[in-house]
Amino acid sequence: MFALRAAHRAFSSRCIRTAMANFNKVILAGNLTRDPELKYTQSGQAIAKFGLAINRKYKQGEETKEQTCFVDITAWGRTAEVVNEYAKKGRPILVEGRLEYSTWEKDGQKRSKLEVVAENIQFLSSREGAQAGGGGESRRSTGANSGEAAAGGEADFDSIPF
């Protein structure tokens, strides 16, 4: 009887471990810390790298404090090109993506980095008079059309392909 219970426990824990699904999804809203840097791989694939600052306000006793988290973001393909064209330092955006861990060696030292690979980006526009990171209108578009500037020099965000 004891052997049967032990075998059942071992089988159950193995099933639980193998049945657990992995989930790697990140959703961040913040402001660009710098203009995106666009480059192309040797095969012609666009890659844009930029930083995102995410502010968190909290109370400690009677005092309101603010903490900022800085995250490196990488976008690929058409998303990279559109981000480079329309997003500039200080611009509020929402990024959906996944975490990616990279390791390399530089000058004999092992280095590592955790960054977000963007899968979807939405441009956010803050309300007039609101702080840069505040809520506001979100414009999102899907399709393969390239974004074009509307009259007055502003981008027509409904034509951006993501």
Residue 79 confidence (pLDDT) above 80: yes
83 vs 63: CA distance, rounded Å: 37
Q: Would 14 be classed as within a structural domain?
A: no
Q: Would 16 be classed as within a structural domain?
A: no
Residue 144 confidence (pLDDT) above 60: no
Closest among 50, 48, 47 to 35, alpha carbons compared? 50
Residue 52: Cβ within 10 Å count? 22
Q: Would 9 be classed as within a structural domain?
A: no
More confident residue, 151 or 50: 50
Q: Which domain holds residue 123?
A: 24-159
3-state secondary structure of 126: strand
Q: Residue 1 corresponds to which tokens in the numbers above?
A: 């009887």
115 vs 101: CA distance, rounded Å: 7
At residue 125, the pLDDT reads 82
At residue 156, the pLDDT reads 46
DSSP states along 58-114: EEETTEEEEEEEEEEEEEEHHHHHHHHHH--TT-EEEEEEEEEEEEEEETTEEEEEE
Q: Would 147 be classed as within a structural domain?
A: yes
144 vs 161: CA distance, rounded Å: 5
Q: Would 66 be classed as within a structural domain?
A: yes
> Rounded to whole angstroms, what are the CA distances from 13 to 20, 45, 76?
11, 44, 40
Instruction: Tally the domains of the chain.
Output: 1
25-73 pLDDT, tens digit each: 999 999 999 999 999 999 999 999 999 999 999 999 999 999 999 999 9
Least confident range of 64-68, 80-84, 126-130, 145-149: 145-149
Q: Would 55 be classed as within a structural domain?
A: yes
Strand 109-126 to strand 63-76: parallel, antiparallel, or no bridges (unpaired)? parallel
Supply the CATH number for residue 115's domain: 2.40.50.140
Q: Would 91 be classed as within a structural domain?
A: yes
Residue 99 confidence (pLDDT) above 70: yes
Q: Would 17 be classed as within a structural domain?
A: no
